[in-house]
Structure 1
Amino acid sequence: MKSPSSSSPSSSSRAVLVADSKSKRNYCCSYTLFPAVCLICLGLFFAFSSFSQGYREKLTTWSVNTRNQNVDSLTQKMETDIVKDKCKNQCRPRGSEALPAGIVSSTSSFETRPLWDIPAVRKKHHQRRQVEEVNMTRNLFAMAVGIKQKDLVDKMVEKFVAANFTMMLFHYDGIVDDWKEFDWNDHVIHVAVLNQGKWWFAKRFLHPDMVEEYDYIFLWDEDLGVEEFHPDNYISIIKSEGLEISQPALDPQLSEVHHQITVRSKRTMVHRRTYKTGGCDLSSTAPPCTGWIEMMAPVFSRAAWRCVWYMIQNDLIHAWGLDMQLGYCAQGDRTKNVGVVDAEYIIHYNRPTLGGADKPNDSSQPQEQDHRLDVRRQSFRELDLFQKRWKKAVEEDPCWVDPFH
C-alpha cells in the first residue's frame, strides 16, 4: 500500500505542466493576435483619417458654399434695396406713376403733324423733313395781337417766319378770320380769347414743358417796328454774349422811351447797365441799373423761361413788378446774363392797343370808349399785390437763400 505522500510529486508535476502549457498557449495566442489587432487599429486609423479629411473637406466646402450663398444673398438684397430706393426716389411727372418710365412723354411742341402719309411719297417726305429739321432754328415767337395793328404785325411775322421761327398769335380781340389775307396765316398758330394780355396767354399756353424744344422764346408786344432787326443775327449775338434774358435796344429817335437802359448805344454791341447821376454807377448791382430789361420785347432762353413762367402769377395778367425780379431767373450773375442788344434794335411806337381806342376819321361817328386809364390803374394794383406776395414768400420760406444779398 502506497502512502499519500508517495503520490504527491507526480500530481504536482502534472499541475505545473498543465499551467505551463496554458501559459504557452496564452502567450502564443497573444503573440498571434497582436499583429491582427495592430492591423485593425491601423486600418481604423487610416479609415478615420480618410473620413476625417473627407469630412473636413466637406465641412470646408459647405462652409464656403454657405458663405458664398450668404454673400450672394446679401448682394442680391443690397441690389434689391438699391433698386427699391432708386424707384422710390424717382422724380416722375405727377400722374405718370402708373406707367413705365420709357412710355412717358413729358414735353411737347407746336410743330404740326400730317393726319396721314401716302406710302409712295413717304421717302421723299422724310427727306424733306430732314432738310427742314436741319434748317429749323428751334425758336418761338409769340405775340398778343389785334386786327387794328395788322400792318405792324404783318412785318414782324414776315421777318420771323423767314428765319424759321415757330409763330403764335394771341388774338385779344377775338378776330381770327380777317388775318387770312396774309400768306403766312396758315403757318401760324392762332389762339383767340377776348380782352386778355400776352402774360395771361403766356401763363396758359407757353408752359415750359410745351416750349422745351425751343432754344429761345420771344414774347413781344404788337406795336414794334422791326425794319432794322434781324432775328438770326440777334440769336447769334445773345448766344456769344451768354445772355439768358435780353431785349433789342430802342431807336431813341423814333421810339417812345420809358427807361434809359433800353436806349440804343451806337458804340457797343451789347450793354448790361445804365448810368444815372446819384442813382446808377459802376458799383450798382441791382435793377433798374443793371440786370434789368423792359417787358415789351423780352427774349428768354429755355432755362430762363422755365423759371420766369413759375414767377408769373396766374391772376396778375399785366405782370407788373416781374421785371425787377427777372434777374433771379438769369441762371447766374444777373449783371452778366441780362442785357440789351444794341447791334439789333427796334422801334417802340407805343400805339393804343389792349384797352385803347383809335380816333375815328369821321368826327360824326361816336368815339369808342378808351379803357387805357383803367388798364393802367389795374396794372398799378397788380404791382402792389405782386410786391406784397414776393415779400411774404421770402419771409415764409426758411430754405430760400437770396443769391444777391
Structure 2
Amino acid sequence: MKPFNCAYVVSDPKNRACFCSVFIVAALVCGAYFISNAFITNEYKDRLSRWEVINMLRNSKSNTCKNQCRPPGSEALPQGIVVKTSNLQMQPLWRDSVKNVNPATSSNLLAIAVGIKQKEIVDQIVKKFPISDFVVMLFHYDGIVDEWKDFEWSDRAIHVSAVNQTKWWFAKRFLHPDIVSKYKYIFLWDEDLGVDNFDPKQYLSIVEGEGLEISQPALDPVKSEVHHPITARRKNSKFHRRMYKFKGHGRCDSQSTAPPCIGWVEMMAPVFSRAAWRCVWYMIQNDLIHAWGLDMQLGYCAQGDRMKNVGVVDAQYIVHFGLPTLGVTEENELNSTEVKITQREQLPKSESPAPSESHKIDNRPEVRRQSFIEMQTFRKRWENAAKDDECWVDPYQQMS
C-alpha cells in the first residue's frame, strides 16, 4: 500500500479547494465559539456583578431594617403594601350598593351561637345592639340559615354555618385576633339570654370606666339558671369582682385570691377587650370544643391583675334561661303546630290523621360526659405546659 502523500493532496486543484473549504468552516466555528464564550462570560460577570450590588444594598440596609418586625411570609413584599389585619366589615360591590352595609366601621363585635328554635330570643338580643356600634356574627350550629332572612338585620349580619359545632369551635376558627383586632370589645354570647334589662352602651361605659378587660353582665337571680353565685346580680351595685361563701365546700372570703371566688366569669355571656381576646384565642384548644376548664384560666389573660381586671356588671343584667340546645334533636316532627290544626280542620273527623308525636333524641348526657372529659384533658395540658416551659413564671402561684 502506498503511504498517504499530503503534498499530493494539496497539490491537486480539486483537493486544494475542498481543503480550503474545510479550513474556512473550522475557522468560522472556532471564531464563533470564542466570541460567544467571551460574550457569555461577560454577561455572567455582569449578572454576578448586579447580584453583588443587590446583596451589597441589602447588607447596607440590614442594620437599618433588622429591627423592623415583618409578618412571616411578607419578607418579599415592600412594607407599605403589607396589610397585617382585617375585619368583618362588609364592602359594597359598587358605589351605590351601600344600603346593606353599615354606614360606618363598627367598633365592637357581637358573636352568638344560634339555632332556629331560639330565633325570637336571638332577634331580641340583636335588636339591643345598635348597628352603628356593633357588627353581628351568627354561628349556626344547626345548619339553618335562610330562615333568618325575614329579620331586617339579617342581611348585615355575618352568617357562618357548621352543624353540631360549639361556640368555641366557631370562635377558634373565625375570630382570629388579626381578624377582630379592629373591634374594641368582643361579646361571645350564647343564644338563651334575656336582655330586657340590658343596654350595651351603658354596659361598655361601666366596663371601660372600671378597667374590666374580661367581664359579663350579672344574672337575674330569680329568673335565671344560676350555676355560680358570683354571677348573680347584686341590687344597688354597679359591679362586683368577688363573691363570699362562708359555708360548705369552696368557701370564699375577703382573703380569697383565686377563681371562682374572684377574677372569674362564666362562659355563657363573656365580654373581652381586644387585648384580652388575643390572649384567650391562643388558649382555646382546636380539639376541645366545649371549653370546660377554660373559665378557670381566663384571669391569665386579664392584662394584669385578675382580681382587678375581671368583674361582673350588676347595673346591666340579663336572664339566663338555660335552654338545652346541642345534643337534642327531634324526628318525625311536622313543620309547625298550625299545619297539624289546618289538616284536621279540612278533613272529616273519621279521616283525620293520627297525631304525629315528635320523638326527641336527647344526647345531652353524652355531651356533658364529653365536656367533662375535655375539662380533664385541658387541665392536664395546662399542667404539662406550665411544667415544660422553663421561661414561664406563674404570677398567681404564690397567691393560690
Normalised by the length of structure 2, the TM-score is 0.75
Amino acid at match of 1:104: V
Conserved 8 A contact 2:114-2:139: yes
- Report what 1:115 is aligned to: 93
Q: Secondary structure at the match of 1:141?
A: strand
Name which of 152, 156, 169 aligns with 1:183.
152
Tell me which residue corresponds to 1:380.
372
Q: Does the 8 Å CA contact 2:106/2:131 hold for their aligned counterparts? A: no
Counterpart in the other structure of 2:200 = 231
**Alignment-derived partner of residue 370 in structure 1:** 362
Q: Work out whether 1:84 is the aligned partner of 2:62.
A: yes
Q: Aligned-pair distance for 1:158?
A: 1.2
Match among 349, 358, 361 for residue 321 of structure 2: 349
Question: Quick one: structure 1 residues 241 and 358, their matched pair in 2 at CA, closer, same or farther if it must change by over 3 Å?
Answer: farther
Task: For residue 254 of structure 1, report the CA deviation from its aligned partner.
Answer: 0.3
Match of 2:388 in 1: 396
* Cα distance change of structure 1 residues 366 and 115 upon mapping to structure 2, 3 Å threshold: closer
136, 139, 142: which is aligned to 2:108?
139
Distance of 2:389 and 2:221 partners within structure 1: 42
CA contact (8 A) 2:215 2:271 kept: yes
SS at match of 1:152: helix
In structure 2, the partner of 1:101 is 79
Structure 1 residue matching 2:109: 3-state secondary structure: strand
Following superposition, the deviation at residue 92 of structure 1 comes to 1.6
Secondary structure of the 1:332 match is coil
Q: Which amino acid aligns with 1:105?
A: V
Deviations 1:185-242 (A, max 9, x none): 1111100011101100000000000001000000000000001100010011100010
Residues 144 and 197 of structure 1 are in contact (CA less than 8 Å); yes or no, is this contact kept in structure 2? yes
Q: Is the 8 A contact 1:163 1:232 kept in 2?
A: no
Displacement of 1:303: 0.2
Residue 151 of structure 1: how far off its partner (Å): 1.1
- Equivalent pair of 2:189/2:269 in contact (CA under 8 Å): yes
Contact map agreement 2:138 2:158 (CA 8 A) in 1? yes
* SS of equivalent to 2:177: coil
- Residue 246 of structure 1: CA displacement? 0.1
Equivalent position of 2:310 in the other structure? 338
Instruction: Assess if the C-alpha contact under 8 Å between 2:225 and 2:320 holds in 1.
Output: yes
Counterparts of 1:106-255 in structure 2, within 5 Å, are 106-117=84-95, 132-133=103-104, 138-162=107-131, 164-255=133-224
Residue 7 of structure 2 corresponds to which residue in structure 1?
Answer: none
Helix, strand or coil for the counterpart of 2:391?
A: coil
Distance 1:320 1:337 in 2: 22
Bigger radius of gyration, 1 or 2? Answer: 1
CA distance in 1, matches of 2:286, 2:262: 27
Q: Find 2:269's aligned residue among 297, 312, 330.
A: 297
Partner of residue 36, structure 1:
none
- Secondary structure at 1:183 match in 2: coil
Specify whether residues 115 and 366 from structure 1 end up closer, same or farther in structure 2 by C-alpha distance, changes over 3 A only: closer
- Within 2, Cα distance between the matches of 1:161 and 1:138? 11
What is the letter of the counterpart of residue 222 of structure 1? E
Residues 159-184 of structure 1, C-alpha deviations (whole Å, 9 max, x = no match): 11456310000000000011111111
Kept after mapping to 2: 8 A contact 1:217/1:305: yes
Q: Give how far 1:357 is off.
A: 4.4
Could you tell which deviates more after superposition, 160-169 or 275-284? 160-169
Distance 1:203 1:80 in 2: 39
Q: How many residues align?
A: 318
| Contact kept in structure 1, 2:103 and 2:132, CA below 8 Å | no
- Which letter does structure 1 place at the counterpart of 2:252? C
Amino acid at match of 2:202: N
**Per-residue deviation at 1:366?**
4.0
Whether the 8 Å contact between 1:352 and 1:358 is mirrored in structure 2 is no
Q: Calculate the TM-score normalised by the size of structure 1.
A: 0.74
Deviation of residue 364 (structure 1)? 4.3
Tell me which amino acid in the other structure corresponds to 1:169: L
Q: Which runs of 5+ in 1 are unaligned?
A: 1-78
Q: What is the CA-CA distance between 1:86 and the residue it aligns to? A: 4.5
**RMSD (Å), alpha carbons:** 2.5
Please list the CA deviations of residues 257-282 of structure 1 after superposition, one character each: whole Å capped at 9, or x if unmatched. Answer: 00000000012101000001151111
User: For the structure 1 residues 181 and 84, does the alpha-carbon distance in structure 2 shift closer, same or farther, using more than 3 Å as the test?
Assistant: same
Contact 2:115–2:141 (CA under 8 A) maintained in structure 1: yes
Q: Report the counterpart of residue 306 of structure 1 in structure 2.
A: 278
Cα distance in structure 1, aligned partners of 2:272 and 2:60: 39
2: distance between equivalents of 1:150 and 1:143?
12
- Which segments of 5 or more consecutive residues in structure 2 lack a partner in the other structure? 1-56, 341-354
**Secondary structure of 1:296 counterpart:** coil
Percent sequence identity is 63
